[in-house]
Structure 1
Amino acid sequence: MEPYTPHARPSGRKKTIGLSAKEYNKITDRIAAVRRNRLPGDEEGRDSSGHDSSFIAETSFVRAPLNSRVVSNPTSQRQSSKGKAKQEPIDRVPLDVQEAMILEDLLFVLMGIEGEHITYHPDYSPEDDDPLRGTQFVVSPYLDASLRDLVERILPLGTYYTAIYAFIESRSHLDYGLINHALCAAIRDMLKDYQTLLSQLEHAFNTSPQFSLQKLWFYVHPTIHTLSLIYQLILELDDQTSTSLSSDGSSSEDEEEAARNEALGLGGANLKAVLSEFGKGDPDGASGIYVKGGEVLSILYERMQNMAGDPTAHTIYKSLLQAAGKPYVEMLKTWVTTGNLVDPYEELLVKERHFIDRGIIEKDYTDDYWERRYTLRDGSTLSGSKRQLAGVPPPRPSSGRLPGGACVPPLLESWKHKILLAGKYLNVIRECGIDVTREHDSNELFMDEENFYTFLEDAYSFANKTLLNLLLKDQQLIPRLQSLKRYFFLSQASFLTHLLDLSATELRKPSRSASIVKLQSLLDLALNNDARGEDALYRDDVKITMSDTGLYDFLLKVVSVSGVIGEEKEDGTPHEEQPKKEKSILGIDALTLDYNVKFPLSLVISRKTILRYQMLFRFLLHLKHVEQSLSSMWIEQKSGPWRSRLPQHPDFERWRLRVCVLRARMLAFVQQILAFATFEVIEPNWRNLAAKLEKVTTVDQLLRDHVDFLDTCLKECMLTSSKLLKAYSRLIVVCSTFALYTSPLTKTAISAISAAEVGESDQGMAKRWDVLGKFETNFNHWFQIHLDCVQFYASSENVSLLPLVIRLNSVKSTV
């Protein structure tokens, strides 16, 4: 808005501004006429000597008329003015005097000050009305109709000005944040132009006899549109806040509940600070969030887009967007270039949970430091998970926008994940003690200009490349993953065989009785004997641990809840840590490995990924143990009573042959499952992962590729389907239980041979057939169910199981 400059006069007017004696007398005569026409008895506004009090202590009223209306008590001034207007009808004076008087009042009203003939609306109450709605003015009904029409066109300026001024005063408080501060400063600069215009109009009114109401309308007409645009903006900002704050009282905590919480240790500022991170600590909830931060920028941008056809609106909203966005851009620049989150009023799209530090990774089964310390306020993630939504405030009822900083400006919607990751990458690098100071262009950036997004892309690329080099080269990530593969996926199976031989006695004990210290010593001995070259690099990081629950019970519980290994419950607690029923299991069933890794590699090899490795390890270990037990059974049945011929006892011969056939089928089944898991699941998927790691370009992609590799292995090993797990677990339990019967079967065979040699009748043959029949029935039943399930999933959901179908059919045909 360009202020009126009275010096830029059209040709034909005086070149100098000043009052001649004739002009001065004409104006003063008009004012004197107004005084003479006061009704009798009108003493209000006069002092004891009978003079008008508005002129007392103001010797330059004609030169500065606005000063006479600035009083210390607006209410008394309002009552005095309204009394005068009622007692002194303006229609009793000539039309040119009416115009002079109404021009004087208009200059007051345009500054939000009540005049004598233009007064506050009768329903206006400074105590009850919302100041951001502006002050409504009404014109005296006695004013000439030809003047009233023009005056009523100008009156909205007073409403706009008072509303805008009130907005600046209220939104300049600290609670409204830096974005509102910058917006108010920009609007205040625009009001300076408006105030300059008013001072020039006042000067013209005092010095130019030709200054008329029509000229006033001519000069303020463009300003009405400008201030109306700002007025509409502040109304929308006020509407959002008013709607949100209207429901605050309903969610406040009463005194009794507060006292009870305090007695239970649930009160205090610390707990509220933690709960507020999840949207539960603020007694007002999301409804108490002011319109600030990204929400202000979103409203400005949407108004600019919606009114793109109006050049004035587009220019004003664009300038306000750039001015209000400066603090936001500065916070973003600090975040993406240093990793420091400087957001004192929670206005940025990124938020930090201060109670989470990197030490959590070492003791918790969730990598909170990476996924939850820094997040987007709107709860969105690259994976599309809605787990973060517990900490996101609900949208505004009126607009559907998220409140405050949770509202991502539309200009940054497609960049929000890169902004988040750039700062997270730099934080990881800083935690490693590496300086990430980087010089960047000091030119001023604006959110709606292309160079700002070029800057964001460069900052993201730098942070990503730096962290990727740190992980792959400095921290030797790939050798670490290879060591995990060797130890957890039995690629170095000789150490496991050695360990199982050394710890056979200890692993037969209940898991609570097994000595972890002794098992760790035996593991170190096995690794020292078998590890060579690269295999020995990270052997000290491998540790023995004992699980509290059986593998298949745990897997069935997990997949019945979420269907995904490693997922947490809604409250963030890993499934591994859920309360479990007291159930005694053997040491071999509870044995697993753990792997120690330091920050920052713990971001890739996190506790959740270690949990996946442990599931696969226990699956392979159980298969290897059952295979070893059945192989020992086969070795024992190659000699002694199992090779003796008893032609006189054909029933025993058939029983003995059936035992060997069942053992061979079980061994074939276990070996086929183990071969399938090792050579057709883990090895191909590992090669795919290695190929991806050679071409990886972003840290986030590296993390996803690693987790995808483990999840694919779990799925293809049949550990994520409850039906497959149930059939497989029953089948493998039958095989392991049958292997435990090696000694009883040998003893009963010896007794049968001894009885046959002395010619006695064999009384235990019926019992032998009964035991063997139960094993055969159970094995055949669950084998068929398992085969049917595998065939179904191979033909519908998991094509990778097709090779297993062929392998199992070969076991089925074994005689």
Structure 2
Amino acid sequence: METTPCPTTPRWNFDRPFLTGQFHQETKETSRFAKSFSNTGDEKAIGCYDVGVQEVIVMDDVLCALVGIEGRYISIKRRVHTQGNDNYDFSVSFQVDASMDLALQEMAKRIFPLCESFVLIEQFVESRSQFKTGLDYEAMVAQLEHQFRLGRLSIQGLWFYCQPMIVSMQALSTVILKASVNNFAGSAVLNLLQSQAKAMAGDNTVRSLLEKMTQCASNAYLGILERWVYEGVIDDPYDEFFIAENKSLQKESLTQDYDAKYWRQRYSLKDGIPSFLANIAGTILTTGKYLNVMRECGHNVQAPTSENSKLMSFGSNHHYLECIKVAYDFASGELLNLIKEKYDLMGKLLSIKHYLLLDQGDFLVHFMDIAREELTKKLDEINEEKLQSLLDLALRSTAAAADPCHEDLTCCVERSSLLKRMATLKDLEVRSFSDSNDMEEPVSITGLETFSLSYKVQWPLSIVISKKALTKYQLIFRFLFRCKHVERQLCGAWQVHQGVRAFNISGTAISRSSLLCRSMLKFISSLLHYLTFEVLEPNWHAMHNRLQTVKSIDEVIQHHDFFLDKCLRECLLLLPELLKKVEKLKSLCLQYAAATQWLISSSIDITKLEEPSASQKLKQLRFKNPSQVQKAITRDAAVTDSILKFEREFNAELQSLGPILSTSSQAEPYLTHLAQWILGVGSDK
């Protein structure tokens, strides 16, 4: 973030030190005015005078020292560290002529801490212009000097009048020294003042002074805070506010970048939050963020303000905290209503559920029928424009046409299998695959393995339905789509088996194949039932109910993300060991379904059918002599071996799934439901 540099003390403050009084503290060795103000060597040592005369001289020098000016017998010794135009005083000390009367030396040294504090304060004010110490101290020195000129002031009286001011000035000098050495500004100065005020709780005068300074110093800061929580504007020309804006993060990234940081980092908290705002800093940040979202939507809104809601002071009554809470409630409610009502968040989520979670699957059945030829092609041969046209046709030809959001649905073809895609999403915490071969792509990956749906999401709904959220929906869709494809293929195989029931196939390979087909179909149907009715539907309704009572858009994001993560895990997508087993079983089912035509044709000695449909197969089979069919079945031992091989592999994979489910269900209780649905499949013969 580019900020305007803080204005510095004008250069002439250093080029012309007579304007500031700085020349008074310059050492005689380095000052270009040293010759004008140094002793010429004719000055007698103060010890040469009587004690009464010494007292008058010392009082005159002490009065000069109180305003940072060296006297004839009192000098200033300083060690200065210079950085740029700022002079940071690490130590300032006053020294007296060694020949001075010891009693006078002792009295003068008691007042020196006050003088040293003033020098540090004055130097800080003139170089940094951060504090205003007022005229009380200088007025006191002027009055003391007046009394001295009238002959009414003794050294003891001078000490008496200076004593009450010493502690306050030392406290101020301590604050200034810490601020100078650490180059504090903004909230760091406020924290320093507050901590020093607490440290001086036993001295009511000093504590009141520091609290007053804190109050004055915080006025400008609270002005910045007020604009942020009431308007969503950062009016911070000198980069002192504790909220930073990263303008390089644009809202468009929410729909383009899986790892978009816009919502979390466009506005963020900086270090050095004022202590009196530390507990509510997150609320302050969120309030301004919400107002900015509404402004980005073209919805100009400003939190209602009144004289009672001004944030120009803070104190023990915590009124400023109540004002911030009211501003947060207003901004949160306005944004939530805007997204829910004007942009129909729930309608969009329900539409996504219809299509990507297959809540309304009639369009998908029609699409899979008309797009079968395109989906069976290899990746580099697929025409995505043609798939999109077929998808639009399927949407317009089914009940989905009544959905006003159906035009936001698009299709896409991924470049990798589901397993490999899952492994690339590190934030999902998918456990690593134990075998490197698991990451290898199938030899002939087609559109059936990589097809996916997408959804057009506009601002500000992209805050909730971001690229990351949409990717999670797509992962679930791809898993469901693959299951649906397997189910359709097995249903086709089952229809072929039903077509030969008119023949006497009892005890033949076909009857065994029919049992295997039924087991496979039961497995995939049980899996789909678990995914839809045991995982997606209950979790969706739980999220829907929670969204009815949310108070802010961040709660919406939290519940929506929780829903997606829970669905991913319960759909086995975050459990690679189980996912691999299920994918292997689905592959076996597809291989078997593809081989069914050959198995039955070989068994009953039927040449390749001209028509692929089951009804045509049935018509042709009925013209064959049953005795010829029986003879062909008994003759073809190869068919029996193939069916037995499919059966062994399927049952072995299914049985190996049992121990994994039993073990995993201890840590993942929802797997108990899956085990109940599918573990009995292998026993069906």
Question: Following superposition of structure 1 onto structure 2, how do residues 483-494 of structure 1 map, counting pairs within 5 Å?
Answer: 483-494=351-362
Q: Does 1:791 align with 2:662?
A: yes
Residue 510 and residue 67 in structure 1: after superposition, are their counterparts in 2 closer, same or farther (change >3 A)?
A: closer
Alpha-carbon separation, structure 2, partners of 1:582 and 1:220: 91
Shift of 1:545: 1.0
Alpha-carbon separation, structure 2, partners of 1:125 and 1:356: 44
Q: Does 1:171 align with 2:128?
A: yes
Q: Which of 66, 74, 96 is the equivalent residue of 1:110? A: 66
Which residue number in structure 2 is paired with residue 374 of structure 1? 267
Q: Does 1:551 align with 2:493?
A: no
Shift of 1:752: 9.0
Question: Following superposition of structure 1 onto structure 2, how do residues 218-297 of structure 1 map, counting pairs within 5 Å?
Answer: 218-241=160-183, 291-297=184-190
Shift of 1:701: 0.9
Alpha-carbon separation, structure 1, partners of 2:81 and 2:39: 18
Shift of 1:586: 0.7
Residue 757 and residue 691 in structure 1: after superposition, are their counterparts in 2 closer, same or farther (change >3 A)?
A: closer
Alpha-carbon separation, structure 1, partners of 2:680 and 2:505: 32
CA offsets 1:580-635 (integer angstroms, 9 cap, x no match): 98976211111111111211112122211111111111111111111111111111
Residue 80 and residue 769 in structure 1: after superposition, are their counterparts in 2 closer, same or farther (change >3 A)?
A: farther
C-alpha RMSD over aligned residues: 3.1
Is contact 1:547-1:590 (8 Å) kept? Answer: yes
Residue 472 and residue 563 in structure 1: after superposition, are their counterparts in 2 closer, same or farther (change >3 A)?
A: closer
Q: Does 1:748 align with 2:641?
A: no
Which residue number in structure 2 is paired with residue 721 of structure 1? 575
Is contact 2:58-2:73 (8 Å) kept? Answer: yes
Is contact 2:294-2:335 (8 Å) kept? Answer: yes
Is contact 1:734-1:775 (8 Å) kept? Answer: yes
Shift of 1:761: 11
Q: Does 1:590 align with 2:450?
A: yes
Residue 68 and residue 803 in structure 1: after superposition, are their counterparts in 2 closer, same or farther (change >3 A)?
A: closer
Which residue number in structure 2 is paired with residue 331 of structure 1? 224
Alpha-carbon separation, structure 1, partners of 2:587 and 2:331: 51
Alpha-carbon separation, structure 2, partners of 1:238 and 1:106: 27
Question: Following superposition of structure 1 onto structure 2, how do residues 457-536 of structure 1 map, counting pairs within 5 Å?
Answer: 457-531=325-399, 535-536=402-403
Q: Which of 199, 202, 211 is the equivalent residue of 2:145? A: 202
Residue 146 of structure 2 aligns with an amino acid whose one-letter code is H
Shift of 1:814: 1.8
Residue 46 of structure 2 aligns with an amino acid whose one-letter code is I
Alpha-carbon separation, structure 2, partners of 1:459 and 1:717: 41
Residue 786 and residue 331 in structure 1: after superposition, are their counterparts in 2 closer, same or farther (change >3 A)?
A: farther
Shift of 1:356: 2.0
CA offsets 1:436-484 (integer angstroms, 9 cap, x no match): 1344134452243511111101110110111111111121111111111
Alpha-carbon separation, structure 2, partners of 1:523 and 1:325: 61
Alpha-carbon separation, structure 1, partners of 2:583 and 2:96: 90
Q: Is the partner of 2:452 in helix, strand or coil?
A: strand
Q: Is the partner of 2:490 in helix, strand or coil?
A: helix
Is contact 2:415-2:450 (8 Å) kept? Answer: yes
Residue 142 and residue 77 in structure 1: after superposition, are their counterparts in 2 closer, same or farther (change >3 A)?
A: farther
Which residue number in structure 2 is paired with residue 46 of structure 1? none
Which residue number in structure 2 is paired with residue 244 of structure 1? none
Which residue number in structure 1 is paired with residue 520 of structure 2? 666
Shift of 1:333: 0.8
Q: Which of 548, 560, 564 is the equivalent residue of 1:710? A: 564
Q: Is the partner of 2:251 in helix, strand or coil?
A: coil
Which residue number in structure 2 is paired with residue 456 of structure 1? 324
Residue 789 of structure 1 aligns with an amino acid whose one-letter code is I
Q: Does 1:437 align with 2:298?
A: no
Residue 630 and residue 329 in structure 1: after superposition, are their counterparts in 2 closer, same or farther (change >3 A)?
A: same
Shift of 1:556: 3.5
Is contact 2:196-2:210 (8 Å) kept? Answer: yes
Residue 742 and residue 171 in structure 1: after superposition, are their counterparts in 2 closer, same or farther (change >3 A)?
A: farther
Alpha-carbon separation, structure 1, partners of 2:26 and 2:199: 42
Is contact 2:303-2:330 (8 Å) kept? Answer: no
Alpha-carbon separation, structure 2, partners of 1:786 and 1:67: 86
Alpha-carbon separation, structure 2, partners of 1:448 and 1:492: 59
Residue 223 and residue 594 in structure 1: after superposition, are their counterparts in 2 closer, same or farther (change >3 A)?
A: same
Alpha-carbon separation, structure 2, partners of 1:364 and 1:532: 29
Q: Is the partner of 1:75 in helix, strand or coil?
A: coil
Which residue number in structure 2 is paired with residue 258 of structure 1? none
Q: Does 1:765 align with 2:637?
A: yes
Residue 295 and residue 782 in structure 1: after superposition, are their counterparts in 2 closer, same or farther (change >3 A)?
A: farther
Residue 545 of structure 1 aligns with an amino acid whose one-letter code is C
Moved more, 192-201 or 542-551: 192-201
Is contact 2:254-2:466 (8 Å) kept? Answer: yes
Alpha-carbon separation, structure 2, partners of 1:701 and 1:593: 27
Alpha-carbon separation, structure 2, partners of 1:643 and 1:430: 72
Residue 536 and residue 315 in structure 1: after superposition, are their counterparts in 2 closer, same or farther (change >3 A)?
A: same
Alpha-carbon separation, structure 1, partners of 2:454 and 2:23: 84
Is contact 2:79-2:90 (8 Å) kept? Answer: no
Which residue number in structure 2 is paired with residue 285 of structure 1? none
Which residue number in structure 2 is paired with residue 690 of structure 1? 544
Which residue number in structure 2 is paired with residue 636 of structure 1? 496
Is contact 1:82-1:119 (8 Å) kept? Answer: no
Q: Which of 415, 423, 426 is the equivalent residue of 2:291? A: 426
Residue 228 and residue 622 in structure 1: after superposition, are their counterparts in 2 closer, same or farther (change >3 A)?
A: same
Is contact 2:88-2:181 (8 Å) kept? Answer: no
Alpha-carbon separation, structure 1, partners of 2:632 and 2:332: 83
Residue 175 of structure 2 aligns with an amino acid whose one-letter code is L
Is contact 2:81-2:90 (8 Å) kept? Answer: no
Alpha-carbon separation, structure 1, partners of 2:253 and 2:24: 66
Shift of 1:747: 3.8
Which residue number in structure 2 is paired with residue 341 of structure 1? 234
Shift of 1:660: 2.3
Is contact 1:756-1:762 (8 Å) kept? Answer: no
Moved more, 459-468 or 690-699: 690-699
Alpha-carbon separation, structure 1, partners of 2:527 and 2:390: 28
Shift of 1:347: 2.1
Which residue number in structure 1 is paired with residue 610 of structure 2? none
Shift of 1:171: 3.0
Unaligned runs of 5+ in 2: 1-20, 431-438, 608-623
Is contact 1:633-1:739 (8 Å) kept? Answer: yes
Alpha-carbon separation, structure 2, partners of 1:72 and 1:556: 71
Shift of 1:750: 3.9
Which residue number in structure 2 is paired with residue 608 of structure 1? 468
Residue 366 of structure 2 aligns with an amino acid whose one-letter code is H
Alpha-carbon separation, structure 1, partners of 2:590 and 2:375: 14
Q: Is the partner of 1:356 in helix, strand or coil?
A: coil
Q: Does 1:216 align with 2:158?
A: yes
Alpha-carbon separation, structure 1, partners of 2:632 and 2:39: 135
Moved more, 730-739 or 686-695: 730-739
TM-score by length of 1: 0.72
Q: Which of 102, 106, 125 is the equivalent residue of 1:149? A: 106
Q: Is the partner of 2:453 in helix, strand or coil?
A: strand
TM-score by length of 2: 0.85
Shift of 1:151: 0.8
Task: Give identity over the alignment, percent.
Answer: 31
Residue 747 and residue 459 in structure 1: after superposition, are their counterparts in 2 closer, same or farther (change >3 A)?
A: same
Alpha-carbon separation, structure 2, partners of 1:459 and 1:580: 55
Q: Which of 45, 58, 71 is the equivalent residue of 1:89? A: 45
Alpha-carbon separation, structure 1, partners of 2:116 and 2:123: 11
CA offsets 1:693-734 (integer angstroms, 9 cap, x no match): 221222211111111111111111111122222322222222
Alpha-carbon separation, structure 2, partners of 1:696 and 1:550: 37
Alpha-carbon separation, structure 2, partners of 1:124 and 1:375: 40
Moved more, 111-120 or 358-367: 358-367
